[in-house]
Chain A
């Protein structure tokens, strides 16, 4: 069942997102677009970027006429990183409240976003993460305008009623409770909280329970009025649309808003250097233990991210991967993975393994670290790097199958601050050398900068760690 899912907890998506390069300055609009009031910015890899000149709304158009279907997405550049004590989880609650009606579209009027999209058979959802919130639907091309109108209305005309907040609070609380049923989620949450001391990535996107229960509607309103503006949003359209008509609709429905009256607040907090290993222990009823080893790595736009991505693929992509051979095939672990949760600020790299019967936490932790040490000492082979590059070539073809996947991937690059990496990242991976992989392994995986977490099931049959 689809839902307004939060995307927190997707730490181990290998090769899904990773990034590169110092963020290029967003190019200034340089030419008139096909519609007055919308400026053409650039065309990169077949993606056309425009800007609504009156309010700064960013627009990305990705034509694909293979089926009469279109995915429309609005990404707001606000996430749980923009929250503080007392409002943790507010971004996510606001995401839920966005389905409670706006001035022109609501359940009471019979034309709410849910009613419209389910009437036309759209596949829709929304999600909140640390750096962004997105709303999206895949629907028949003929139904696009109606959805744009609703999305535009709720950008600035949300009802945000206290009665809706009260009912939705318990809904969100059950979402929180469902997540806590899984001990691995708890472990990742605790490791993340220990790894980040100053940056707001410290707290989970869904928030602390007490904040979920008590955040007042006034603070949600203030949050909405601070961040939900066209100049803090990017519209992405993928699929079977007519460019000129779509731009006219975007101007018609979004052009009625000014840009935000105040600048969108920037995060100026920086994470202090970590000077010693941190350890976390989670104990809950369970059957199988697990180990997470986290290291902070650069932001998602950093030049080292392609090499880190190749490193992760060599470690954990498929049966040829080193972690599979060293931990799973050897019988130490049931599964093992490496991946980076890319962020606008410092990202978090994690190694993970679920213990096999008879293995101890210490053995598995050492085995995970040993694979990093091997790469630091001996590097990787050219064949391993080439294999990853070949996988990128195939993935590039796969993402042209359907519209929703491309929109979702672009969304994550918008979140880290540079959508052009959707196009450029595969090219940057193609330039990675074995030496690059060894260099980043040496640079970012110092023992004193690790945060290690163990989930220890409270089960007498498990070997003690």
Chain B
């Protein structure tokens, strides 16, 4: 996007409709071999960024071995049916290209960066790795060893332990966002076998619900030809899971052992900082009617240095290095809401009390129109700053599609933010959050 076109985009975005035509010049979307392909041309020279995702995340383990989706994702970089991992790595490194995979709660995500001249090579390797990974027993043993090591490291991490406990407390069984415990994952990794990976790959890897976004020095015609050739004849894939309603927390619903006072404490020896989470499930997706209002209201409470939490708990009281509030895991399913902070063990009671005080004030009394006016301006400004790199642009497009919007949302988002009112935000907060039912998790030397 050149300066002129984005400047026009900026100026038009608040008066909406002509923007779609502007975006249309840059964005193109078409089904190619069953893949939802999106390209967005920018003025950056030679650089192409690729992000894509399809449903093959941890939630698809179902009642089987919990480590299989992650292990399958880890094996993608370990060779294909025709080339070993080192031959592939050499081809990519010879041209400075990068391909990585990550497994999330629901998605298998692929990311790549390369020069325009190397796009055919990169797409070809991605296709081969997704379609025909080698999945050999020898490489499987190495991947499993790595996963076991990573999980063991997490056992001593205050952040990892608190996040796991929090997600299990707020997401009930059956929710795609509910993780297994680290101990369960460790046991699963140790007992997994390569046949399970092959079966998982056959069942879940395919073009159905695969969204692939390329941004930068790209054109749809050339890209579609490359993708069509590389993925020709590929079939299969599953739909994303839709989680059950989570009107109450899992703790409140009796799905986990109810701790006294809604508190979960995870003692870890010799830790100098305690990780703290306070929150609940929201029963709300981003695209639901109150979704945006809850996000913006949460930003006023806990996003950035001028948020209420940072300006009071950190700046005024000096109790923490970092504290913030966020809505998360609400892209595909109903999500959750949390305040996250760290405190020295000696300041923990005081810190948690301040956190609760600010939460109660925000929930009870709401946000003001003045706060909202400032936050709107900041959110819209940050949105456009985020679109100024190909990576930011590609990520935003993928997120837009995963949230269930069409690409027009890229232009209507600022308009939607601008239209919010303080009463609408305060009503959404009251409707979807209740401090009395929130779970508090503390991990560290307590």
Contacts of B113 in A (CB 8 A): 398
Within 8 A of B (CB), among A122-143: 122-123, 138-140, 143
> A177 to B274, alpha carbons, bound, how many Å?
9
A67 CB contacts on chain B under 8 angstroms: 1-3, 6, 42-43, 387-388
What is the minimal beta-carbon distance from A458 to any residue of chain B, in angstroms? Answer: 9
Q: Is B384 an interface residue (CB 8 A)?
A: yes
Are A174 and B344 CB-contacts (below 8 A) given A181-B273, A387-B93?
yes
Residues A121 and B89 in contact, CB atoms below 8 Å apart? no
Chain A hits for B381, CB < 8 A: 119-122, 139-140, 143
Most B CB contacts (10 A, CB to CB) among A140, A167, A173, A401 go to A401
Segment at the B interface, from A79-87, A243-251, A314-322, A407-415: A314-322
Q: Is A66 an interface residue (CB 8 A)?
A: yes
Q: Pick the contact of A121 from B1, B114, B383 — CB < 8 Å?
A: B383
Does B269 make an interface contact (CB < 8 A)? yes
A334 x B150 contact (CB < 8 A): yes
- Closest Cβ–Cβ distance, residue B27 to chain A (whole Å): 16
Q: Could you tell me if A119 and B378 are in contact, using CB atoms closer than 8 angstroms?
A: yes
Contacts of B221 in A (CB 8 A): none
Nearest neighbor of B341 in chain A, beta-carbon distance: A174
Question: Lowest 9 CB-CB distances: which A-B pairs, in order?
Answer: A121-B381, A394-B96, A167-B318, A402-B389, A121-B382, A319-B89, A287-B152, A177-B272, A170-B318
Q: Give me 17 A-to-B residue pairs in the complex whose CB atoms sit less than 8 angstroms apart, sorted by A's number.
A: A65-B2, A107-B315, A114-B304, A121-B381, A121-B382, A167-B318, A177-B342, A178-B321, A285-B268, A286-B156, A287-B152, A288-B152, A319-B89, A331-B145, A394-B115, A395-B96, A397-B45
Taking a contact as CB atoms closer than 8 A, the residue among A65, A171, A393, A397 that contacts B318 in the complex is: A171
Determine whether B238 belongs to the interface, using a CB cutoff of 8 Å to chain A: no
- Contact check, A401 vs B389: say whether CB atoms are below 8 A apart: yes
B306 touches A320 (CB 8 A): no
The residue of chain B having its C-beta at the shortest distance from the C-beta of A172 within the complex is B321
Is B305 part of the binding interface, using a Cβ–Cβ cutoff of 8 Å? yes
B364 beta carbon closer than 8 Å to chain A: no
- Given A69-B385, A174-B343, 6 more pairs with CB closer than 8 A: A1-B303, A67-B387, A69-B388, A119-B378, A121-B378, A174-B273
Which positions in B face A, CB cutoff 8 Å? Answer: 1-3, 6-7, 10, 42-47, 49, 77, 85-86, 89-90, 92-97, 113-115, 142, 145-146, 148-150, 152-153, 155-158, 216, 268-273, 303-306, 311, 314-322, 324, 342-344, 347, 374, 377-392, 444
Q: Which residues of B contact A99 (CB under 8 A)?
A: 305
Question: B377 and A114: CB pair below 8 A?
Answer: no
Distance in angstroms between the alpha carbons of A205 and B18 in the assembled complex: 51
Are A178 and B306 CB-contacts (below 8 A) given A171-B321, A394-B96, A398-B113? no
Chain A, residues 331-355, CB within 8 Å of chain B (1/0): the string is 1001000000000000000000010
**Residue A157 is within 8 A (CB to CB) of chain B in the complex:** no
* Chain A 389-407 near chain B by CB (<8 Å), digits 1 or 0: 0111111011011110000
Q: Would you call A161 an interface residue if the criterion is a C-beta within 8 Å of the partner chain's C-beta atoms? A: no
Determine whether the beta carbon of B273 is less than 8 Å from that of A140. Answer: no
Residue pair B97, A138 in contact (C-beta under 8 Å):
no
Q: Please encode chain A, from 434 to 459, with 1 for each CB lying within 8 Å of some chain B CB and 0 for all others.
A: 00000000000000000000000000
Complexed CA–CA distance, A320 and B46 (Å): 25
Question: Is A3 on the interface with B (CB-CB < 8 A)?
Answer: yes
CA distance A67 to B155 in the complex (A): 44
- Which residues of A101-126 are within 8 A (CB) of B? 107, 114-115, 118-123
Q: Is B89 in contact with A287, judged by CB distance below 8 angstroms?
A: no
Nearest B residue (CB) for A405:
B389
Q: How many Å from the CB of B303 to the closest CB on chain A?
A: 8
The reply to whether A318 and B44 form a contact with Cβ atoms under 8 Å apart is: no
List chain A residues, Cβ under 8 A from B387. Answer: 67
In A240-285, the 8 Å CB interface with B consists of: 240, 284-285
Q: Are B385 and A139 in contact (CB under 8 A)?
A: yes
Contact A171 B320 (CB under 8 A): yes
Residues of B within 8 A of A177 (CB): 272-273, 342, 344
CB distance from B336 to the nearest CB of A (A): 17
Q: How far is the CB of B246 from chain A (nearest CB, A)?
A: 25
Closest-CB distance, B4 to chain A (whole angstroms): 9
